[in-house]
Amino acid sequence: MYPFKFDPLLKQTLWGGDKIIPFKHLSEQLERVGESWEISGVKNSESVVAEGPDRGLTLTQLVRRHRQELVGEDNYEVFGEKFPLLIKFIDAKQDLSIQVHPDDELAKKRHDSFGKTEMWYVVDADSNAKLRSGFSKEITPQEYKDRVYNSTITDVLQEYSIKAGDVFFLPAGRVHSIGAGSFIAEIQQTSDITYRIYDFNRKDADGKTRELHTDLAKDAIDYEVLSDYRTAYEKLKDEPVELVACPYFTTSVYDLTEEVTCDYADLDSFVIFICVEGGCQLVDNEGYELSFEAGETILYPATTEEITVIPNEGGVKFLETYV
């Protein structure tokens, strides 16, 4: 099998910025593009294959056609035709709402859906960009509700100044918010279930505030307080550095100036590459050669045994993720 590229699904939002279009070298003249869904099996927002013999197929149709060869035997047994990961670029010109996502058990009970554990990799950030992740002090569920109603919930959330290369792991249940000036690659379970906790009392063009899910969120929140919600890692050149390993995905970053061969012979999973800087040539064991540059995402099938990465002059930085 060959690797797959998909047409991006561009989502216009109230809080979207102007970084996605040039980053992905797109010609569309769109305003407030907040998200580019790179690989998605979410109903009514499915990725479509951009080129090759399977061009025009949705991701679900692609899984249905290729089954274990695409996703791996264990993944197909567990997920069937539901692709397990959702990959996005997020560009925030304004603060996103304070929100939380349910875990698998709660999401299944309420929505017949997967839960939503995710991670953020900061691709770029304005000098004053910040985000929020987790609580800064212990609070009770009742205090949480009180603080939502009196608009002080942000007073008990941990806030971080961010820069390119920062990583945050967000298990289901962790309260969080992406701040203005943040440009982020997001890897998550395939789920579009979000409980909006607080939206800064913003109003849309019709003068209406967006719906809050205060009570739904109350039972989904993990109220545990950690000393630091950032993900620390050693930044190394020319070798993989693991960022996150959890039951839902494993993600590493490659910062390369030299040729590297990635060995997947013993991996029973698809592999996704997300390019965040520079460019390279990719050659797999079947002889398929692709150019790969910042803003692109590629899905390699589970039959892929190895991929050789040949960096362009100036190098390449990309994320690798699989289940």
Residues known to be catalytic: 196
Of 5, 7, 9, 31, nearest to 19 by C-alpha is 31
Please report, as a single letter, which amino acid is at residue 165: G
CB atoms within 10 A of CB 160: 18
Helix, strand, or coil (residue 244)? strand
Question: Using CA atoms, how far apart are residues 316 and 309, in angstroms rounded to an integer?
Answer: 9
Q: How far apart are CA 107 and CA 233, in angstroms?
A: 31
Residue 86: alpha-carbon gap to chain centroid: 6
Question: Per residue in 230-256, is it b (16+ CB within 10 Å) or e — as a string?
Answer: ebeeeeeeeeeeebbeeebbbbbbbbb
CA atoms within 13 A on the CB side of 256: 27
The alpha helices in the chain, defined as continuous H runs, are 20-23, 59-66, 68-71, 73-79, 104-111, 141-149, 214-220
Determine how many CB atoms are found less than 10 A away from the CB of residue 171.
16
Would you mind telling me the total number of residues written for the chain in this entry?
323
| β-sheet bridge partners, residue 157 | 135
Cα–Cα distance between 227 and 230 in angstroms, integer?
9
Facing residues of 16 across strands?
92
Residue 215 CA to residue 165 CA, distance in Å, equals: 35
Q: Give the H or E element holding residue 301.
A: none
